Amino acid sequence: MISMEDWVTIRNLRTKNPSLGTRTIALMLGVSRNTVKKALLREEIPLYNRGEKKINEHIVPFVDFIKDSFLKKNLKASRILKDIKSKGYKGSQYALYAYIREILKPIKDDVTKTTPNAFMHYETKPAEQMQYDWSPYTVTIGGNLVKINVHQTILGFSRYKFYDVSLNVSGSDVYTALEESFIFFGGVCERIQVDNATVFITNASKDNLVWNPRFLSLCGLYGIKPTRSMPAHPWSKGKVESVFSYLETHFISGNEFTSFEDLRYRLKQFQNEHNLEIHGTTKQVSKILFEKEEQSFLKPLPINPITGELKRYVGFKEEFRKVTSECLVSYKGNKYSVPHYFASKEVWLRVLYGTTLQIYSSKNKLIATHTISLKKGEVIVNKEHFSGYRNENSFDSIAVSISRVLKRFSSYINIHKFIENIKIQKRINPAYHLYKIVNLFEYYNDADCIMAMEEAISLNVYSYSIIKGTITNHKSIKQEELNLFNIKLPQANIKRDLGDYKL
């Protein structure tokens, strides 16, 4: 049976550095690969049998919950008492504290003694080093379990911290979180400590280290030197790892959120409160220490000398799009509007936190921002993007077009349905589409036009080109088109005298 110490150590190593294989972990700890595999598969901590101890009857129904809260989540006894009371616990505070003190605390103490240090503290000079990492969590958002990723950057000297959160953890998400932290601090340190994730390093070999070129571009823009934690020492980012532990026990555990925006807002509140606490190592308030002794030593952010604006990192260009003539771009099954003067032009997309779509012009100018829809087939429109659009196109107002078509087809029972459906489906610019269709109908008789409108309603397609194709393939030429010169043709029943045909 796997020992509790091995279980904790193995899972600690894998959590801190998911890229470590079972063979590497086995060699590091001097255990078999089977032991490593069993530890990774086993979710519950293996407990020592310390002999029979009578457990208070009120504690018994909550034993598993208390073990999980104290041994795995590191929650305080007072917090656990509050939680089990909400679940119906009727026992005394003393009974719970006695159970934790006599049975669970010795187990945790054994683990602490036998588990290698998760990290080593070492002190750095002001603005010498900053550390970054992210950690995945599962939280309840709007009643649903959602996987999130919390990003954290911390200054090594003052322990001043920045938090951010995203649904994804792509290169863009990581670089965005880093850049936002640099802006939050108002500068950068001499170097930044990261792990061996592929967003930072493409080859983690000790003899042939290869940095991710996109990460190097970010570091180059901000003038910061990248350094990494060694592959076999995932605990070397001690300052940032310890803060994640605090985050889990004081913010993640036991919290629910109404929306992703609520999660971000409350995380920022937690960040600000945490920065105002006295740090256990420095014995000073992180924010005050930062402002007094570290902020002035940070390297300044890059500024465009012409515009005076901050130079933002744009090395994360990933997805180019061509804007449609209707001023829309497509992204994952939905369409999003851009200002009308970018119609038919190329733009590129940037996704923030997995929730926000930013659209940039080819000259790297932000032109539109949308909240990403989780549905499919949606058209997300900012009406301001079409301000002045109709006036720049030579077609009548929608009121004029509606008046024309109603006057001509007043007897057609579905004419109002046809007009309303155009306005709904072509809501970006219904006046333009209706204007073209009404002008098209001028060249065809009522029956053909009504046939085309019926076909459009049955297919629920109101594109001008589709309606034109339908009507031209089934048209009956107007009588007026045949009688171009208004000449009356002879009738078939005309009788002539036979003498007219004599030679």
Q: How far apart are CA 61 and CA 114, in angstroms?
A: 30
The confidence band for 2, taking pLDDT boundaries of 50, 70 and 90, is: low
Of 290, 309, 278, give the one whose Cα is nearest residue 185: 290
Q: How far apart are CA 371 and CA 167, in angstroms?
A: 13
Query: Could you tell me which CATH number the domain at 319-390 has?
Result: 2.30.30
For the segment 113-141, the average pLDDT, to the nearest whole number, is 74
Q: What is the H or E stretch that residue 184 is in? A: helix 171-185
The confidence band for 43, taking pLDDT boundaries of 50, 70 and 90, is: low
Q: How far apart are CA 258 and CA 375, in angstroms?
A: 19
**The domain made up of 129-297 is a member of CATH 3.40.50.300:** no
For residue 89, pLDDT beyond 80: yes
Q: Which tens digit of pLDDT belongs to each residue from 354-380?
A: 788 889 888 778 899 998 887 788 888
Edge-first strand listing for the sheet containing 379-380: 328-331, 334-337, 379-380
Instruction: Write down the mean pLDDT value for the chain.
Output: 79
Q: How far apart are CA 231 and CA 251, in angstroms?
A: 29
Task: Please tell me which residue, 305 or 13, carries the higher pLDDT value.
Answer: 305
**Does pTM top 0.75 for this prediction?**
no
Q: Which of 2-11, 166-175, 387-396, 427-436 has the lowest mean pLDDT?
A: 387-396
Please tell me the predicted confidence (pLDDT) of residue 6: 66
Please tell me the predicted confidence (pLDDT) of residue 62: 86
Locate the domains of the chain by residue range: 4-114, 129-297, 319-390, 393-482
- Please state the length of the chain: 503
Q: Which of 181-190, 199-208, 462-471, 492-501 has the lowest mean pLDDT?
A: 492-501
Q: Which of 11-20, 165-174, 331-340 has the lowest mean pLDDT?
A: 11-20
What would the two tokens of residue 479 be? 């009588």
For residue 475, pLDDT beyond 60: no
Q: Where does residue 375 rank: exposed (0-12), middle (13-18), buried (19+ CB within 10 A)?
A: exposed
Q: Which tens digit of pLDDT belongs to each residue from 241-253?
A: 556 777 888 888 8
Q: How far apart are CA 279 and CA 160, in angstroms?
A: 10
The confidence band for 290, taking pLDDT boundaries of 50, 70 and 90, is: very high
Q: Which of 15-24, 159-168, 493-502 has the lowest mean pLDDT?
A: 493-502
Q: Which tens digit of pLDDT belongs to each residue from 424-446?
A: 888 777 888 888 888 888 878 88
